[in-house]
Structures are given as C-alpha cells and as structure tokens.
Amino acid sequence: MNKPIKLSKQATLYLEPRFPFNFKGTFKKPSHFPSKLVICGENRIFQSIEIEGSIFGLEIFDCHPRIGIAIYGKRRISEQVKNAIKVEIAFRYNTNGDVSDFVQGFRRDKILSGPINRWAGMRPSTAYSLYGFLMVATVLQNATVKRTVQMMDALLQKYGKRLAFARVELYAIWTPNRIESVSEEDLRALRVGYRAKNIKRISQFFASNPSLESSFRRISNKEELKKSLLKIYGVGPQSVSYLLFEAFHFYDALDHFSPWEAKIVSMLLYGNKDARPKDILADVERRWGPWRMLAVHYIFEDIFWRMEREKIPWLEEEIRM
C-alpha cells in the first residue's frame, strides 16, 4: 500500500562552496534525530525538495572542492528549475557562509583546536524548508528522541510523499495545504498529543502565506527575525534558537540553553555537569564573542562524532534515546 513515487535522474549540477568547507560536517549532523526525510551515506546524502509545487529527489555528494547535486524527477526539468534548486540548496546548507575568521582565529584555542582541526569548514545547515523545520521542531518538543521519531514517522506515513530514487526510499514532507484540511482529531490519532494544535496552526499560517519563508529570509537583523519567529504559534525560545542558527545561520544565536545541552557543554568546558546555564552563557560569550554558537556547535558535533566511534558513558546518560 502507498507505493513510492519513482523518480529518475534528470540532471547533475555543481556548487562551489566558499573556502574553507567541510562536506561531511555540513551535510551530516550526528546530534540530530534520524528522520525518514534525509538519508545519509558516506560523503553523500539523499533528500527531497519542493520547487514551484513539484517534488524532486536529490542526491548530494562530495566532489571536492565542489558539491555535486544529482536531480531526480518524473520528467525533464527546465534550466529555471535547475537553477532554483541550486540557489535553494546553497542557502539551506549555507555554502556561501564565511567561517574563515572563526577557523583562523580559534585554531589554537584550548577548547576549539581539536574540533577545528577535525571539522574546519563545517557550518550550520538544514535539509528542510522553513515549514519542514517547524514541523520537526514541533515533534521535538517535550519528547525523547524515540518518541520524536515515532511521531514524525507516523505523520510521514500518513501525509508525506514516499519517493524512490537512486536506490533509496525516503519521504517528502507534506504541504501546509494538506494538513489544513485534516482535523485535529485525526492528527491526535497519530499520538502527537497537544502538538496537533500547533501543527494545524502552523500549517494554516503557511498555507495562507505562500511567500512566508522568503519574507523571513529578507530580515537581516537577528533580533527582529527572532521577534517575528516567536509570533508563530507554538514557537518558543528553544525552537527559535535552533532556527536562528541552523536555518538562518546566525553564528551568535546563543542566548538560551536547554538543561540537557547545558550539562553537556558544562562537562566539555569544565569537566563537570554542574555549571549553571547562565554562567556558561556568560563564559561562552567572553571566550568566543560573535562566534559563540558556531563554537558550541563545533564542540557539540565533534563529541557526537566521537560517540559513534567510542563509548562515552556520561554523554549517553544525558541523551535519552
């Protein structure tokens, strides 16, 4: 039932990221929960993208120093669509972002030298559209990783589009319109609880404002953008801090720690979990100033990568899978 839509290769194009660039660190984030929206291989990821109302499959691969993008679709695609995909992927993965001053400035930093040595050129990024990101943020709320995965899978199975291309299968996120016509009760049947209301409200908001994402992107002032995002129903400080950094690439978007994140950063900075979030924030600002969130990101992803290779009991204790 619910057969996948088969897509075939239509084109391949290339992006030139700004130097320094690290493919793996930018495209694969081990601290993120595993969703069926993205599949990660070695130096290669698969995802979908919606452009002008059509869905495409993407295979994005490391083609050092460039990034290769193979596009899968139902029929031949126009130059215009090709270019739109290129521009959109460049934005989402922040390939024009400039992290050279950070890499140069802190390569001898006591804490950052290791992570920078291993990941120089990694940047904050997201595979998702703004709407997709908000749906993910919604299922992250008040939930462990396992429960988040369960909610997302249930939603995708019912409302997502299953795609098959390049020998992988994954889901494209539903459109805001699709959820608009679904009752809150039907959503609750998927065990998403009170989040059903937020999913509906956000979907209605995006369905009635098709150009919402581009208007958010035009806001260049961080505080102003933050204020606008907080007006979205169901979006609070935690979701906003993820959004500002990962989706909008503000390297200083750190004025909030959730308790579990604070414990991990405290351990990495001081060797114990006890530092108070407020004190860590002040210290992090003093150390890394306008690069503070990027710095924490390097430290964070580095330790998660390490966890894939070796056991780190104190960390596993904090991450409730």
Partner DNA sequence: CATCAGGGCCCTG
Partner DNA sequence: CAGGGCCCTGAT
Q: Is 276 in the site for DNA (CB under 7 A)?
A: no
String of contacts with DNA for each residue 176-195, x by CB under 7 A = ------------x--xxxx-
Q: Nearer Cβ to DNA, position 33 or 216? A: 33
Of 116, 121, 117, 145, the C-alpha closest to 27 is 121
* Cβ 319 vs Cβ 145: under 8 Å: yes
Q: Any alpha helices (H) in 54-129, and if so which ranges? A: 79-92, 100-105, 113-119
Q: Is 319 in the site for DNA (CB under 7 A)?
A: yes
For the beta sheet containing 161-165, the strands, ordered from the edge strand earlier in sequence to the opposite edge, are 5-6, 161-165, 168-172
Residue 20 CA: distances (Å) to CA of 96, 99, 123, 180, 246 = 10, 7, 10, 42, 18
Q: Is 33 in the site for DNA (CB under 7 A)?
A: yes
Q: Nearer Cβ to DNA, position 67 or 152? A: 152
With vertex at residue 65, the alpha carbon angle to CA 59 and CA 67, rounded to the nearest 5 degrees, is: 20
Q: Tell me the C-alpha distance between 109 and 106, whole Å.
A: 5
String of contacts with DNA for each residue 229-268, x by CB under 7 A = -x-xxxxxxxxx-----------------xxxx-------
Q: Nearer Cβ to DNA, position 95 or 266? A: 266
Q: How far is the CB of 154 from DNA (least distance, A)?
A: 9
Q: Nearer Cβ to DNA, position 10 or 141? A: 141
Of 153, 144, 143, 154, the C-alpha closest to 321 is 144
Q: Which stretch binds DNA (CB under 7 A): 8-16, 84-92, 135-143, 305-313?
A: 135-143
Return the residue of 37, 70, 120, 143 that touches DNA, per CB under 7 A: 143
Residues that bind DNA (CB under 7 A): 31-33, 137, 140-147, 150, 188, 191-194, 197, 230, 232-240, 258-261, 319-321
